[in-house]
Amino acid sequence: MAINLEVNGASYSVEVDPQTPLLWVIREQVGLTGTKFSCGIAQCGACTVHLDGVPLRSCRVPVVAAEGKSVTTIEGLSREGDHPVQVAWKEFDVPQCGYCQSGMIMASLALLEKNPNPTDAEIDTEITNICRCSTYHRVRQAIHRAAELMQTREA
């Protein structure tokens, strides 16, 4: 059956089993591979995207649940990597292997949109993505820096 999706502002109509996880539709039918597969059980967060602005783990969400809603992936942040979160990530040279970082950035952005100046404790509660290289130390610093950059941009 055809499912209508909006991904990063563009409309798609895809012919898939409606139970197909949103992740796979984004990666295969829509063709955006920045969102990663890792655990398949909504544990690690490598597949984090925003659905109507809310972060979720797309490996466990059937695509039909995204019908008519707006999906934002890492590719939707900026074309040139100049979104404040991406700028902060580059400033602190956060990624190591980088595989989890799309999800980490999307989770961090969702936190910053809800809470423009999160404390360390709030970061601890809200950021539950796994990074096996353990870039956590720089992720934390970059979230604080992104908060500054986002406030500057809005000011």
Binding-site ranges for other proteins (CB under 8 A): 16-17, 20-21, 24, 28, 31-41, 43-44, 46, 73-75, 77-78, 80-81, 86, 89-90, 93-102, 105, 120, 123-125, 127-140
Q: Which is nearer to other proteins, 38 or 70 (CB)?
A: 38
The residue among 140, 72, 133 whose CA lies nearest residue 100 is 133
* CB-nearer residue toward other proteins: 1 or 155: 1
Closer residue to other proteins in complex, CB, 57/155: 57
Least distance CB 102 / other proteins (angstroms):
5
The DSSP secondary-structure symbol of 41 reads S
CB of 19 to other proteins, least distance (A): 9
Question: What φ, ψ does residue 101 adopt, rounded to 5°?
Answer: -70, -30
* Shortest distance in whole angstroms from residue 119 CB to other proteins: 12
Q: Which is nearer to other proteins, 16 or 51 (CB)?
A: 16
Element (H, E) at 152: helix 136-154
Virtual torsion, Cα 114, 127, 56, 5, nearest 10 deg: 70
Helices then strands, each counted (H, E), the chain: 5, 5
Question: Residue 140 Cβ, how far from other proteins at the closest point, in Å?
Answer: 6
Cβ-proximal residues to 83 (8 Å cutoff; 6+ apart), any chain: 77, 109
